[in-house]
Amino acid sequence: MRFLDNRQGLIAGLVTAGLLMVSIGAAAAQGLAEPWQTGFQDGVTPVMQEINWFHNFLLVITAAIVILVTGLLAYIFVRFNARANPEPSKTSHNTLLEVVWTIVPVIILVIIAVPSFRLLYLQRDIPDADVTIKAIGNQWYWSYEYPGAGDVSFDSVVIEDEDLKPGQPRLLSVDEQVVVPVNKVVRVIVTASDVIHSFAVPAFGIKIDAVPGRLNETWFKVRKTGVYYGQCSEMCGVRHAFMPISVKVVSEADYAKWLEAKKAEASGPRDDTIKTAAAGIGAAR
Ligand SMILES: [Cu+2]
C-alpha cells in the first residue's frame, strides 16, 4: 500500500515537473533567465538559433556515445567475468575492429567540425551593419555611444533594489536601456575604460570581452521586439554583479523617434547642475 502511495506521489511529481517545464519554456521567452529554467533562453538572433541547434546536435551525439560505451561495459561485465567465462581468450589483434574504432571517431569529429566552423564564421563574419553601437565597460556600469548617429551617448546604470518598480527584474534593470531596431544588423564595438569586463546577452548568443585599449566587435540581428537582458561576464570588481545590460528592441519607426529625442537631448542645454554644485563646494572651501 505504501509502495502504491509512493508511486502515485512519483507520478504526481513527474506531472508537476512536466507542467513546470512547459511554463518555464514560456517564461524563458522573455529575454531573461527564470528560476529553475532548464536549457537556454529562447534564441532571437540567427547566431543564438544556430548555437541552440548545435547544442542539441552535440547532445544527441554525446548521449549516443555514452549509451554505447555504457552498454559495451555492461555487456563485458556480464559476458566476460571470471565466472561466466573462466577460460579467457588469448586474442590480441583484430584488424577490422581496430580500423573501425579509429575511423568511426574521425568521422564523428568531422561531422561535428563542419557545423562548428560554420557557426564560428557566422559569429565572426560581421555583415554590413545598419546600426553600430559602442559599448564601454566601466566600474561598474556600461556606457553606450552611437557613432554615426549624432552625438548620442549615455550611461546605463543598474536600478538599486529599493528603487525597482513592479515588473522590473532585480539586478537586470537599468536606468537607460540601449535601444536598437528589430530585424536590422547591429554591430557592437566593445571596449572598457578601466579593467576587463565582458558584454554578454544570452538571448542574442553574444559574449565578448571588453578590454581597455582594445576594440572587440560582435553583431546581432534580433527578429522579435522586446527587452533582452545580459550581465557583465568577466569578474571586474566588487560591483561586477551590478552592471547589467538591458537591450530594448523596437520597430524601425520607434527607433528613429528615440534617436531624434536623444539627439535633441544631446544638442539642447546640458544639465550642469552636478558640476555647478561641485564647483560651489570647491569655491566654499
Ligand atoms: Cu564588469
The grid coordinates of residue 230 equal: 545580459
Distance 174 CA to ligand 1 centre (A): 14
Sign of the dihedral defined by the CA atoms of residues 113, 216, 204, 121, in that order: negative
* CA–CA distances in Å: residue 200 to residues 20, 78, 168, 227: 27, 49, 19, 14
Phi-psi category of residue 150: left, alpha or beta, with phi > 0 → left and psi -120 to 50 → alpha: left
Distance 158 CA to ligand 1 centre (A): 12
- Contact between 190 and 199 (Cβ < 8 Å): yes
Q: pLDDT at residue 28 above 60? A: no
Distance 212 CA to ligand 1 centre (A): 12
Distance 272 CA to ligand 1 centre (A): 28
- Contact between 220 and 181 (Cβ < 8 Å): no
Q: What is the CA radius of gyration of the chain?
A: 27
Say which residues have a Cβ less than 8 Å from residue 45's Cβ, sequence separation at least 6. Answer: 203, 204, 205, 206, 220, 221, 222, 223
Phi, psi of 35 (to 5 degrees): -60, 140
- Tell me which of 12-16, 94-98, 259-263 is least confident: 12-16
Task: Give the closest residue to 244 by CA, choosing from 161, 180, 182.
Answer: 161
pLDDT tens for residues 131-156? Answer: 999 999 999 999 999 998 887 999 99
Distance 182 CA to ligand 1 centre (A): 27
Q: How many Cβ atoms are within 10 Å of 59's Cβ, its own excluded?
A: 10
pLDDT tens for residues 143-202? Answer: 999 998 887 999 999 999 999 988 889 999 999 999 999 999 999 999 999 999 999 999
